[in-house]
Amino acid sequence: MTTRRPVKEHRQMVVGVIASMADLRFATRVNRPPDLFELRLDCLHDVLDQLERTMAILKAPKIITARDPSEGGANKLPFAKRRELLTRFLQYAKYIDVELRSVRAFKPLLRQARKRNVRVILSFHDFGSTPSSRSLCAKATRAKQHRADLFKVATRTDKPPELARLMEFATLTSLHLPISAMGIGKLGGISRLLLAGYGSALNYASLSKSNTEGQLPIALLRSSLRGAKPKRSHA
């Protein structure tokens, strides 16, 4: 049985996504960096030397991820290549993000990450629809069992019922695990504003051109978070 999630007591964070050279150039020049940068290594796999040279210049902690092609990863990278990318950039990471479906395969790397005090995000992406709240809760439970520090969910929200299911999961789960939730598609933008207002722990934004339908520009997302003053639970 689920209960309403109180709004997070911790500060919600804005994540600037670096998925192209244009994003990287923006990130190295920005005067006011986001709370975190996400390095989409699957998108950047052919500019790794340039990327590595910017690590000291990027003025925010980093999330590293090399997305599985079945969950939106670019360039159809095989598992071995994704593991190689994550291993190479682990030394620069504050967080590492791998898909829940891949957690067993990445177990040695995640063990290494924890030894380096790198926090673990386990994620789930569904580009076709939004599963039921019950299904998403089950995935969050699995993520918690695998010692995730945070569970990230991104699902298709083209229709109001899909958005409603995602909102139900994000606001009604009683799991003691930080949740980052966002929609993709026609209602993706509004979903991200709503979920940020309801306490989504990490809120992803584009730096130059959005690489996901529904992803908002960083200035708009920041403005929304400044204006959002959700009620806190006193229970």
Give pLDDT tens digits for 148-207: 999 999 999 999 999 999 999 998 756 789 999 999 999 999 999 999 998 999 999 999
Q: Which domains does the chain have, with CATH numbers?
A: 13-226 (3.20.20.70)
pLDDT surpassing 60 at residue 229: no
Find out whether 128 and 157 touch, Cβ atoms under 8 Å.
Answer: no
pLDDT surpassing 70 at residue 234: no
pLDDT surpassing 50 at residue 231: no
Average of pLDDT values for 37-61?
96
For a pLDDT cut of 70, what percent of the chain falls above it?
A: 91
Q: What is the DSSP letter of 69?
A: G
Q: What is the DSSP letter of 76?
A: T
Rounded Cα gap, residues 139 and 151, in angstroms: 9
- Is beta strand 36-40 parallel, antiparallel or unpaired with respect to 62-65? parallel
pLDDT surpassing 70 at residue 3: no
Confidence band (pLDDT; 50, 70, 90) for 235?
very low
Rounded Cα gap, residues 146 and 128, in angstroms: 25
Residues forming a β-bridge with 217: 206
pLDDT tens readout for residues 114-164:
999 999 999 999 999 999 999 999 999 999 999 999 999 999 999 999 999
162 CB-near residues (< 8 Å, 6+ apart): 129, 130, 155, 156, 183, 185, 187
Confidence band (pLDDT; 50, 70, 90) for 77?
very high
pLDDT of residue 5: 47
Confidence band (pLDDT; 50, 70, 90) for 97?
very high
pLDDT surpassing 50 at residue 230: no
pLDDT of residue 2: 45
Confidence band (pLDDT; 50, 70, 90) for 223?
confident
Return the structure tokens found at 140: 């969050």
From 76-80, 208-212, 217-221, the region with the lowest mean pLDDT: 208-212
Confidence band (pLDDT; 50, 70, 90) for 227?
low
Where residue 199 falls (left for φ over 0; alpha for ψ -120 to 50; beta otherwise) is: left
pLDDT of residue 228: 56
